[in-house]
Amino acid sequence: MRPADAVDFALASLRQRRLRTFLTASGVMIGIGALVSMISFGKGLQKNVTRAFEASDLFTTVTVLPGGAEKPGGDPDGKPRAKAPGRADALLDDAAVAALARLPGVAMAYPDVSFPALVGLGDRREFRLVQVVPAAAVNSSALRIRWGRAYGSDDENGVVVNRTVLRQLGETEPAAAVGRTIRITTVSIDLARLATLNLASIFSGASSPVSQETAEFPIVGVTEVMAFGGEGGLAESAVMIPPGPAGRIKRLPFSSVWDLFRIRDGRIGYSAATVRLASLRDLDRVRSKVQDLGFGTFALADQLEEVTRAFRFMDMALAAVGMIAIVVAALGIVNTMIMSILERYREIGVMKAVGASDGDIKRIFFFESGAIGLAGGAAGCVLGWATSLLINRLIDLYLSRQGMPHVAYFSFPAWIFLGAVAFAVLVSLASGIYPARRAARVDPVVALRHD
């Protein structure tokens, strides 16, 4: 029997049993559709996270940390955040930051400075951290300002705000917020007055060395909310202000009580500094130089392999969930093929009586199961693609009301569809092994006597 004849016999049998063929192929379709959706979601998540990190220069960013003990709230496993602990006597001050900026391979270095404030817009107020960011960092590719612009210099009297804080302050249109005035209220301590007061007057509320000061700044730009946190912490800052205006605001010289433990010779150093590299190739050299200065370092690039490994495990877990439906579909194919043997028992006997070999019978049933897998796999790819797009659309509709941008949560490289169809055919062929061997063992004499 020629292979073409075996294909004709297989297709004719499938056409004669259209409903059963459709139901069996539907099982394969659902299984492949679930598998495609699961894998494409994992790949989409990995693509979005990696792209956000690359676009925000997180892989070329090194966080410099002062020496000494780590403050609480870091790694939940108790592991130190820094790559190297650094020297306890190393003070991360302006001179140290300037030295970091002069290192070969460093494109930019600036201290991480933030202070608590009461931020007001109109009649709404919120407690937020205001971050002091130089103009060079705000104008870099690491920050995406969608409405307005970045402030042009370190002394410009303007601020850049996050879209999220605008929504919390009652402004739902970011473009309309550009040019409006935002109020920043800070708290400061009058040390001279503190020396003249006694504890009784302070605790009774009769007199207090603590005072509030409110400064007003125009909003020059609004940053877009990043769905995967890809702005290296800048876009997540509620308010960004240039160093010049920030230096004129009366405020506490520290943002948390833990900063007081870094006092050296009466000076409080910075809790961290950000170093932007000219290229990822400079990472090891710059990190070595920073450690020579006595500071610790943390770079997200060090965690890239762990992140990649985590995505591999996630892909395996998602694929395992999709495989459950494939196993059920494979059992359906086995059942369909066995039922086909019982219904065509006499037909198989006639074919063997007129000269069909065991191999010919096997090929017919292999072609049948393979055709079911091919049809179900192709339809499953379409189902998985359409379902994923629908889910993505529904998520976008919900998140758009929260001010989040459009994100493609599913990714569909060509190999997913090709691999899914090939896998469906392979599973179907494997499911047809037992029915094909059983059909090949049919005794033609017994089959011809079968009613």
Domain boundary (266, 285, 319) is at: 266
Query: Could you tell me if 25 and 121 lie in one domain?
Result: no
Res. 434: pLDDT tops 60: yes
Query: Could you tell me if 132 and 197 lie in one domain?
Result: yes
Q: Does residue 292 belong to any structural domain of this protein?
A: no
Residue 49's pLDDT is what?
A: 74
Query: Apex CA 57: angle with CA 54 and CA 60, to 5°?
Result: 105
| Nearest partner of 340 among 266, 254, 424, 431, judged by Cα | 431
Q: Does residue 233 belong to any structural domain of this protein?
A: yes
Highest mean pLDDT among 46-60, 98-112, 127-141, 181-195: 98-112
Query: Could you tell me if 317 and 422 lie in one domain?
Result: yes
Query: Could you tell me if 121 and 252 lie in one domain?
Result: yes
Asked whether the whole model's pTM tops 0.75, one would answer no
Query: Could you tell me if 20 and 158 lie in one domain?
Result: no
Query: Could you tell me if 117 and 258 lie in one domain?
Result: yes
Residue 230's pLDDT is what?
A: 45
Domain boundary (210, 242, 266) is at: 266
Q: Does residue 279 belong to any structural domain of this protein?
A: no
User: Mean pLDDT for the chain?
Assistant: 79
Pick from 140-149, 172-181, 426-435: least confident:
140-149
Query: Could you tell me if 118 and 262 lie in one domain?
Result: yes
Residue 183's pLDDT is what?
A: 92
Q: Does residue 173 belong to any structural domain of this protein?
A: yes
Q: Long-range contact list for 445-451, CB < 8 A, 24+ apart?
A: 445/349, 446/349, 447/345, 447/346, 447/348, 447/349, 447/350, 447/352, 448/346, 448/349, 448/350, 448/353, 450/345, 450/346, 450/349
Residue 76's pLDDT is what?
A: 42
| Nearest partner of 286 among 103, 110, 99, judged by Cα | 103
Q: How far apart are CA 109 and CA 378, in angstroms?
A: 53
What is the Rg, in whole angstroms, of the alpha carbon atoms belonging to the chain? 34
Query: Could you tell me if 349 and 411 lie in one domain?
Result: yes
Q: Does residue 63 belong to any structural domain of this protein?
A: no
Query: Could you tell me if 418 and 318 lie in one domain?
Result: yes
Residue 30 identity (one-letter amino acid): I
Residue 259's pLDDT is what?
A: 65
Q: Which tokens hold the place of 381?
A: 């790819």
Buried residues in 331-341 as b, exposed as e (16+ CB within 10 A): ebbbebbeebb
Q: How far apart are CA 140 and CA 231, in angstroms?
A: 11
Q: How far apart are CA 356 and CA 434, in angstroms?
A: 19
| pLDDT one-digit tens code per residue, 160-212 | 998 888 888 888 888 899 999 999 999 877 655 555 555 555 555 555 667 78
Q: Does residue 214 belong to any structural domain of this protein?
A: yes
Q: Does residue 282 belong to any structural domain of this protein?
A: no
Query: Could you tell me if 10 and 119 lie in one domain?
Result: no
Domain boundary (216, 242, 266) is at: 266
Q: How far apart are CA 198 and CA 271, in angstroms?
A: 32
The total domain count for the chain is: 2
> Which range of residues forms the domain containing residue 166?
113-266
Query: Could you tell me if 232 and 333 lie in one domain?
Result: no
Query: Apex CA 65: angle with CA 63 and CA 69, to 5°?
Result: 145
More confident residue, 398 or 109: 109
Beta bridge partners of 120: 125, 183
Query: Could you tell me if 365 and 239 lie in one domain?
Result: no
The H or E element containing residue 118 is strand 113-121
Please tell me whether residue 148 adopts helix, strand or coil conformation: strand
The answer to whether residues 383 and 29 touch, using CB atoms and an 8 Å cutoff, is yes
Q: Does residue 336 belong to any structural domain of this protein?
A: yes
Res. 78: pLDDT tops 50: no
